[in-house]
C-alpha cells in the first residue's frame, strides 16, 4: 500500500508522508469490540507525571479488543474487513467465526478480505492461521508469538515486524526476533503465520509539529538547553557540551547502557543477544 505525498501548498504538507489508507475498509468499527480508553497523560494512580512529554490531543479514542490468544481452535473464520486502529501501528482485521462470533486480530500482510483463517494444530501454515511453533516449517515468518504457552501473543506485533523460525531443538523452537536476537521458545507456544501489515509505517513523516501534538506527544527540551538546576547537562557558556556521559534528568546513564535485569530466568533461553547480532552484521 505504501505512503502518499502531497502538493507543497503549505510548509507542513511539503515534507509530509502519510500512510495510504486506500485499501482499508470504509466501515465503522464493530461496536461490540469497543471499550472506552481513558487518557492518562503520563500520570500514575496518584496523579503525578511519571512519563514526561505526554498529553494533549483533541480526539477521543476507543480501544479495539484484539484477540491475541487465538484460542478458538479448529473453528474457521472469514475475514470481513481491514481497519485502522488508532492504538497501534498495524492494521487490524475483523473476522467472523462459523459460530457467529466476531473478533479483531492483527492483520497479516498477505491476508485479503474474504479469505478464511483458522487456529490450531490442524491449520495450514499460511498467513493468518495460528499454529503451535512446533508445527510451523523452518524459515517461516511469524508474528504475535506467545512467550510461554497460554500467555497470549506478545512478540512481533508492531507494523512490518516478524520473527523467523530458525530451528528446532527437542521441545524448543529457535526464533530470530525483529531485534536480531535469537531466542528459544517452547514448541507449544502459539504464533500467527505471516508478516504484520503496514510495513511502510516506518516511512511516515508527520510534516508539522501540530500533527504530533494531535497524537498526544508534547515537545521535548534538550538537557543542554536547560539550567544546571534543571538537568545534569545544563549550564555553561553558549552551546556548551555536557562534558560528561549522557544521562537522564535524574543522573541515570543513558544511550547504550544495558537495562535488562541481571540473572533473569529467561537468560538461558537467549542464544544470541540483539547487540551481538548487530555487531555481527557490521
The CATH number assigned to the domain holding 174 equals 2.30.30.30
Contact indicator for 273, 183 with CB cutoff of 8 Å: no
Q: Which long-range contacts (CB under 8 A, 24 or more apart) does 19-25 make?
A: 19/198, 19/200, 19/201, 19/204, 21/84, 23/82, 24/82, 24/83, 24/84, 24/91, 25/80, 25/81, 25/82, 25/83, 25/113
pLDDT in the model for residue 40: 87
pLDDT in the model for residue 68: 94
Q: Give the tens place of pLDDT for each residue, 246-276.
A: 999 998 988 888 888 888 998 998 888 877 7
Percent of the chain with pLDDT over 70: 98
Instruction: Count other Cβ atoms within 10 Å, centred on residue 85.
Output: 19
For residue 238, is pLDDT > 90?
no
Q: What is the rounded CA–CA span in Å between residue 220 and residue 108? A: 34
Q: Give the tens place of pLDDT for each residue, 162-194.
A: 999 999 988 999 999 999 999 999 999 999 999
The whole-chain average pLDDT of the chain stands at 90
Confidence of residue 32 (pLDDT cuts 50, 70, 90): very high
Confidence of residue 20 (pLDDT cuts 50, 70, 90): confident
Percent of the chain with pLDDT over 90: 66
pLDDT in the model for residue 282: 63
In a domain, 176, yes or no: yes
**Cα 107 to Cα 83, 145, 150, 248, distances in angstroms:** 9, 14, 21, 37
pTM over 0.75: yes
In a domain, 210, yes or no: no
In a domain, 84, yes or no: yes
For residue 281, is pLDDT > 80?
no
DSSP assignment letter at 11: H
In a domain, 191, yes or no: yes
Q: What is the rounded CA–CA span in Å between residue 145 and residue 152? A: 8
Domains held by the chain: number: 1
In a domain, 256, yes or no: no
Confidence of residue 157 (pLDDT cuts 50, 70, 90): very high
Domain that holds residue 169: 3-38+59-201+262-281
In a domain, 101, yes or no: yes
Confidence of residue 59 (pLDDT cuts 50, 70, 90): confident
Q: Give the tens place of pLDDT for each residue, 75-111.
A: 999 999 999 999 999 999 999 999 989 999 999 998 9
- Mean pLDDT computed over 46-73: 90
For residue 222, is pLDDT > 70?
yes
In a domain, 79, yes or no: yes
Nearest to 224 by CA among 214, 236, 233: 233
pLDDT in the model for residue 256: 81
pLDDT in the model for residue 178: 93
User: Cell numbers at residue 20, please?
Assistant: 495510504
pLDDT in the model for residue 258: 82
In a domain, 95, yes or no: yes
Amino acid at each position: 500500500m505504501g505512503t502518499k505525498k502531497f502538493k507543497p501548498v503549505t510548509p507542513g504538507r511539503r515534507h509530509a508522508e502519510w500512510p495510504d489508507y486506500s485499501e482499508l475498509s470504509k466501515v465503522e468499527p464493530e461496536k461490540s469490540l469497543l471499550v472506552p480508553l481513558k487518557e492518562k497523560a503520563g500520570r500514575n494512580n496518584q496523579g503525578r507525571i511519571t512519563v514526561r512529554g505526554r498529553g494533549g490531543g483533541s480526539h477521543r479514542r476507543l480501544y479495539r479488543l484484539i484477540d491475541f490468544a487465538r484460542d478458538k481452535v479448529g473453528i474457521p473464520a472469514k475475514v470481513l474487513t481491514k481497519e485502522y486502529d488508532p492504538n497501534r501501528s498495524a492494521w487490524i482485521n475483523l473476522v467472523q467465526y462459523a459460530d457467529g462470533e466476531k473478533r479483531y486480530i492483527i492483520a497479516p500482510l498477505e491476508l485479503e478480505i474474504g479469505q478464511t483463517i483458522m487456529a490450531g494444530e490442524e491449520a495450514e501454515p499460511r498467513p493468518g492461521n495460528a499454529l503451535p511453533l512446533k508445527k510451523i516449517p523452518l524459515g517461516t515468518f511469524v508474528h504475535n508469538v506467545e512467550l510461554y504457552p497460554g500467555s497470549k501473543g506478545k512478540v512481533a506485533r508492531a507494523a512490518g515486524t516478524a520473527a523467523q523460525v530458525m530451528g528446532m531443538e527437542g521441545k524448543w523452537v529457535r526464533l530470530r526476533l525483529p531485534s536480531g536476537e535469537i531466542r528459544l521458545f517452547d514448541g507449544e507456544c502459539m504464533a500467527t503465520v505471516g508478516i504484520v501489515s503496514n510495513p511502510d509505517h516506518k516511512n511516515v513523516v508527520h510534516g508539522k509539529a501540530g500533527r504530533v501534538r494531535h497524537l498526544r506527544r508534547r515537545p521535548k527540551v534538550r538537557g543542554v538547553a536547560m539550567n544546571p538546576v534543571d538537568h545534569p547537562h545544563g549550564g555553561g557558556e553558549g552551546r556548551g557540551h555536557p562534558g560528561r556521559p549522557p544521562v537522564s534528568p535524574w543522573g541515570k546513564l543513558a544511550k547504550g547502557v544495558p537495562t535488562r535485569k541481571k540473572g533473569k530466568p529467561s537468560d538461558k533461553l537467549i542464544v544470541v543477544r540483539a547487540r551481538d547480532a548487530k555487531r555481527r552484521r557490521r
